[in-house]
Structures are given as C-alpha cells and as structure tokens.
Chain A
C-alpha cells in the first residue's frame, strides 16, 4: 500500500482565497483524522471520521473550516476564506480502528499571505 496520500504538498495562497486539501487514506482503514501542526500549538486534532461519518469536529477552529468524506477513499478539508493565521502543516492520518495506531500522510504545508 502507498500509505496515506495528501495533496498538494505545498500550497501558497493569498488571504481570502479558498483552499482545499485532499487526502486518500490507507485502504481498509475505517478512521480518518485531520490535524493541524504549528510550532506554537503543536499537533491539534481538527476532525475525525469513522466509516465516512464525521464523529468529532470540536477541533475545527471556525466556520471557515469544513471537511467532507464522500467515500472511503477520499476526504477534503476546505478553508474559505483563508487567513494568514491558518498557515500551518495539515496532516491527514488513518487508522484501522478506534484506539489503534494512526498512520500519517506527508502533510500539506499551507502558507497564507
């Protein structure tokens, strides 16, 4: 298996623009997680899905953030409109079950100017 795939790897955009981050989990994994990592706040869980259903989105910072998982092999995290404080590395991770280890994708480094 290729592991968790994320795209794009780097994204530079201007404030106010819409940003869409994409993730393909490992096949057969029922859980998918979106994290944001910054030097100041470390690794923060934004939202996670179980069998394509959002379970906990309490970490989503604002209504500007939304996430979808239309099928078992694809998820998106959208920021609209983007702001400079959204600049961070966004990781997607998948897991074969609750409480099991998570496998991380390579991350998307987002810079909002």
Chain B
C-alpha cells in the first residue's frame, strides 16, 4: 500500500465549476498535509497546507482534513483555465518523513 494515494484522473471540469481533488494516506501518525500544484514542465509549488481537522480556506481554495478517515481534499471554487495542472498531495508524519502522491491531472474547460 502506498503512503499517499490519489486518483490520477484526468479530471475535467467546466470553467466556473467546483473542482474536487481527493487524497488518502496510510500513516495515522501523519501530522502535516500539503497540496502542491505543478504546471507542465515546471516544478511543484505549494498552494495550501493544513494541520488540523476541518476546513482551511484561502481565496478560491479550500483544504479539508479528516484524520479519522485519513482523508484530505482540495476544493477549487470558480475554476479557471489557469487552474489546469497536476495537483500533488503530500503528507508528513511524526518522523518528518515526507510522502507525495502521484498527482491528479485537472483540466478546466473554457
């Protein structure tokens, strides 16, 4: 079982819709959770992090964490074509080990 699992997609949503990206992790001791965005040919860049159960909002982005279900998600409201990218979920455990998922490819259709 992989440490972090994501649906590889591709996920396609129309412009203006909500995109929902999901991630599950296996280590119950995980404490820090991150969402990175990676445009084609570029390096990953951090867009959100969350440490506590519940929701965290930043502009059009909302990260949701449910530690009991070992589940973290990213919602993108009012999706724009510029949001088209691969989204990587990353998890850090108590041993400061850092694991990335394989990423979900998102396409926002104008």
For the complex, would chain B's binding face be called helix, strand, loop or mixed by DSSP majority?
A: strand
Please tell me if the beta carbons of A91 and B43 are within 8 angstroms of each other in the complex.
Answer: yes
Selected contact of A42 from candidates B43, B92, B97, B100, CB within 8 Å: B100
Contact count band on B: 20 to 34
Q: When A42-B103, A45-B98, A101-B34 are in contact, do A107 and B88 touch as well, CB less than 8 Å? A: no
Selected contact of A43 from candidates B92, B96, B100, CB within 8 Å: B100
The tally of residues in A whose CB lies under 8 Å from a CB in B reads 19
Chain A residue contacts of B31, Cβ below 8 A:
99
B46 within 8 A of A: yes
A105 within 8 A of B: yes
Q: When A33-B98, A56-B97, A98-B96 are in contact, do A105 and B34 touch as well, CB less than 8 Å? A: no
State the CA gap A103–B88 with chains docked (Å): 14
Which chain A residues (41-79) contact chain B, with CB distance < 8 Å?
41-43, 45, 48, 56
Chain A residue contacts of B71, Cβ below 8 A:
none
A102 within 8 A of B: yes
State the CA gap A105–B48 with chains docked (Å): 18
Q: When A42-B103, A98-B92, A99-B31 are in contact, do A105 and B43 touch as well, CB less than 8 Å? A: yes
Q: Which residues of B contact A (CB under 8 A)?
A: 31-32, 34, 42-46, 49, 88, 90, 92, 96-103
Kindly list the 6 A-B residue pairs having the minimum CB-CB distance in the complex, ordered from nearest: A98-B96, A42-B102, A104-B43, A99-B92, A43-B100, A99-B32
Question: What are 29 A-B interface contacts by the 8 Å CB criterion?
Answer: A35-B100, A42-B100, A42-B101, A42-B103, A43-B88, A43-B100, A43-B102, A43-B103, A45-B98, A45-B99, A45-B100, A48-B98, A56-B97, A91-B43, A91-B44, A98-B96, A99-B31, A99-B32, A99-B96, A99-B98, A101-B46, A101-B49, A102-B98, A103-B46, A104-B43, A104-B45, A106-B42, A106-B43, A107-B43
